Amino acid sequence: MKHLLSILLFTIFLAAAGTSHAAPPPAPGAKDSPTTGTLTFPAAGELPMLQSIKDIQAVTTGHGSDLLVVNFWATFCAPCVEEMPYFVQLSQKYPEKRVRGVGLTVDLKSQVESVVKPFLKEKGIPYANFHLYADDQGDVIKFFSKDWDGALPVTFFYDKSGNQIGHFLEPVTAEQLNGEVEKLLKQIDEKK
C-alpha cells in the first residue's frame, strides 16, 4: 500500500509541478560553484540550497566527483526520511571530489518554501537538494531507469562521465549504501 501511495503521490507531484517554467536564481555565493545547464552545486563550505530544476540530464553531468549519488525523496515519504541519515553520513565520510550526494525532492512546488526548506534545515541536511519539475513524469522515470515504477525512495549512482553505474529501486540500509559506494569506488579506481 505504501508503495502504491508513493507512486500516486509522485505522479501527482510531477503533473502539478510541470506547470511551472522558471527556476529561481542561484543562492548567494553560487557563482563560484560548479554548474551545468540549470544545475548549480554549492561550493565547498557553502550551505546547501534548494534550487528548482527542469533539465533532468543536468543532474547527472558536470558534478565533478568520482561518484555521484542521486536520491529521490519526499517529506511525505516515511522510508525516504528514515534513510536520510545514511546520506548525511555518506556526505561527511568522503570529500566532494570523491563522492557527491544529491537529493531530488518530489514534494509539490507550492510546498518548497513552506515545507521542504524548513524540513532540510531542521534535519541539518548538508548535501545539495533540488526540486525537480518536469512536463512528463514518464520522461523522468525512463531517464533514470526503465525498471523504476516511480516508487520512492530510489537511489542512482553515476560516474564522472555521467554514466549510470548502479541503483537501488527501494529503500536502502546504511550497510547497503556504504557497501555499494565502496564497491563502485573500487570499480572506478580500477578503470583509472
Tell me what pLDDT residue 40 has.
Answer: 60
pLDDT in tens, 128-184: 898 877 666 777 788 888 899 989 999 999 999 999 999 999 999 999 999 999 999
What pLDDT shows up at residue 102? 92
* Residues 14-37: tens digit of each pLDDT: 433 333 222 233 333 333 334 334
Tell which wins on pLDDT, 173 or 127. 173
pTM of the model: 0.77
Domain boundaries, the chain: 2-191
Dihedral pair phi/psi, residue 114, rounded to 5°: -85, -25
Question: Which CATH superfamily includes the segment(s) 2-191?
Answer: Glutaredoxin (3.40.30.10)
pLDDT of residue 192: 80
> How many C-beta atoms lie closer than 10 Å to residue 31's C-beta?
10
Q: What is the pLDDT of residue 42?
A: 59
Type of residue at 168 = F
